[in-house]
Amino acid sequence: MEAAAYQDLRIFSGNAHPDLARAICSYLQTAFGACEVFEFSNENVFVRVQDNVRQRDVFIVQPLVSPVNTNIMELLIMIDAMKRASAGRVTAVVPYYAYGRSDKKDQPRVPITARLLANLIETAGADRLLTVDLHAGQIQGFFNIPVDELTALFMISRYFKDMDLKNLVVVATDIGASKRARNVAQSLNAPLAIIEKRRLDNDDESQVLNVIGEVEGMRALIVDDEIDTGTTIINAAETLKDRGVTDIYMACTHPVLSGSAAELLAAAPIKQLVVTDTIPISAEKHVPQIEVLSIAPLIGEAISRIHTGSSVGELFRMDPDLAASVPQTMARAERG
């Protein structure tokens, strides 16, 4: 390992997902940073850093989950507090980046909120961003600071590799998800099928138009970046059943599970749903089919490498067989 460019590493968390921050600290064998983050009765967020962070290498863990807008404000105010306390460097660790679907002006008079959010994080004073499976990789370009985007998909692939499912086809929920699904299919040595999906309006409804590829008589593994209302995946599962798929598995990085998604999924024809803990899942949303893999070792390893100035890219270049034999840190990703 190279020498650290900054003084000691400090991990802090807002109120979005302290369990994940604790798991990252435990991977790194470092103490959890002390910081008060709370709302006054007028809903103004207040932050007070209780540790000395002068010249320290600070990492703030805050996925932008429900309540999304409050968690965004917490992150921005924490960054500001760290900078004003003379932190040497501040990295925003945002395992789930909200507003990722507002990434282009695809209708007249609409905002590009993913870009606005990037501007806010930078203006608050973040020096770097560490994130996981952005909705669209191009969001990296909304930042003028370095962005490290990790992927959970190879960790998830390894889980399915160990299950050794025969006669498997990997299915992308739409054309946009096909690159991700292709990477999973490649690492599982399985063919790829793609669902042609159409969103009807700005509401959460989506409609399946067609399935491209052979699926009849096969087991399907549906891959997506997130499950929000669940309509995409449930429509996909029902269509695949109609097309003669025998068993349906589902993998996604971010279990947003908004509204009644959990209830709908529990009743859907899905054998197993594999997700990560980039987003906390409350007990009532813990559907029987769900298996949660921890993203903490992957994020912990990336933090350690950022701190010591060693390559984060190497996390994505590991030989897949070697990757299978080491802890969840060594996932392999192929971009393109």
Contact criterion met (CB below 8 Å) for 323 and 332: yes
Contact criterion met (CB below 8 Å) for 16 and 67: no
Closest to ligand R5P by CB, 79 vs 252, is 252
Closest to ligand R5P by CB, 145 vs 281, is 281
126: Cα within 13 Å, side-chain hemisphere: 26
Helix, strand, or coil (residue 264): helix
- Distance, in Å, from the CA atom of 23 to the CA atom of 73, rounded to the nearest integer, reads 23
Please, what is the minimum distance in Å from the beta carbon of residue 305 to ligand R5P? 28
- Cis amide linkage into residue 280, ω under 30° from 0: no
Please, what is the minimum distance in Å from the beta carbon of residue 233 to ligand R5P? 6
Closest to ligand R5P by CB, 95 vs 230, is 230
Please, what is the minimum distance in Å from the beta carbon of residue 227 to ligand R5P? 5
- Distance, in Å, from the CA atom of 157 to the CA atom of 174, rounded to the nearest integer, reads 19
Closest to ligand R5P by CB, 173 vs 304, is 173
Closest to ligand R5P by CB, 91 vs 173, is 173
- Chain residues in the site for ligand R5P (CB under 6 A): 173-174, 176-177, 204, 206, 224-232
Rounded to 5 degrees, φ, ψ at 134 are -60, 150
Q: Which of 197, 241, 271, 285 is catalytic?
A: 197
- Is 271 among the residues known to form the active site? no
Please, what is the minimum distance in Å from the beta carbon of residue 186 to ligand R5P? 19
Please, what is the minimum distance in Å from the beta carbon of residue 206 to ligand R5P? 5
Please, what is the minimum distance in Å from the beta carbon of residue 194 to ligand R5P? 13
- Distance, in Å, from the CA atom of 301 to the CA atom of 327, rounded to the nearest integer, reads 10
- E-assigned strands of the chain? 7-13, 35-39, 45-49, 56-61, 89-94, 128-132, 147-150, 168-172, 192-199, 206-212, 219-227, 248-255, 272-276, 290-293
Contact criterion met (CB below 8 Å) for 250 and 270: yes
Closest to ligand R5P by CB, 80 vs 103, is 103
Contact criterion met (CB below 8 Å) for 24 and 11: yes
Name the residues annotated as catalytic.
197
